[in-house]
Structure 1
Amino acid sequence: MMDAVSKDMSAVPGMDAMDMALMQACMDACSACEQACVVCSTQMMDCAPACMNCADMCNTMMRAMLRMQGMTPASMMAMLDACIAMCQTCEDMCLPHAEMSEVCRMCAQACRACIDACQAVKDSMTV
């Protein structure tokens, strides 16, 4: 799959130098975060709305990274920033429940991993 994405990106000015390993790690983290957030949103705690929003954002980020047509460096940065912000909000909402809910703990960890992966992609784009 990454070979197809790489070919798509080579036609986009400014996106041809993207690190495919970082992109794959980011997509994997987005997928894991989306899944954890969906499960966490069923816990009926006050973090549920943040988890649902985060799941949607992670899914959107992952799909955008798979479909690079129309993506520019500025739009990629904006998407990464939005995903980081949403994951940070979700992590902040789930952490207070982490001691009493294994699901919230795992969700917060998945959010942190997604933040770190998105930041790594951003950092690779600004070098």
Structure 2
Amino acid sequence: MLSNPASANTVIELTQVPCQFLESEPTDHGFSANSADDCKDHNKRTGDSRAQQSQPLELKAGKYTFRVTNKNVPYPLGFWLRGEGVIGRATLPSVSGGGLATGTTLDYEITLEPGEYLYSCPLNPTPDYKLVVR
């Protein structure tokens, strides 16, 4: 678990490769994708089991910068962090954006409140990975 002082802004680095965030899964699956449709096919076969095998990211409430890198994905990506479920989406903070061209890194700033979140890239697409904030 990471901790952060209330006034600090902790940076969480995430790397996207085709169809996955490297830090979120125990294995780099080495997927190849030329489009989001390729990832949709991978996820139909492996997405649920991969999401179950991933360990939730656990953080304390506070200010964060999610620094997301597009590593070798040949199409533009994004990032979406939101509350889990209908109530979570309505009551918890969220952040999203696109424009992650191959080889670029973008920062997404957010102040997280206690609750359960999901993060993913709908443009890659990746499984929904869990984030728990205490």
- The TM-score normalised by the length of structure 1 is 0.25
Q: Judging by fraction of residues, say which structure has more strand.
A: 2
Q: Judging by fraction of residues, say which structure has more helix.
A: 1
Which one has a bigger Cα radius of gyration?
Answer: 1
- The TM-score normalised by the length of structure 2 is 0.24
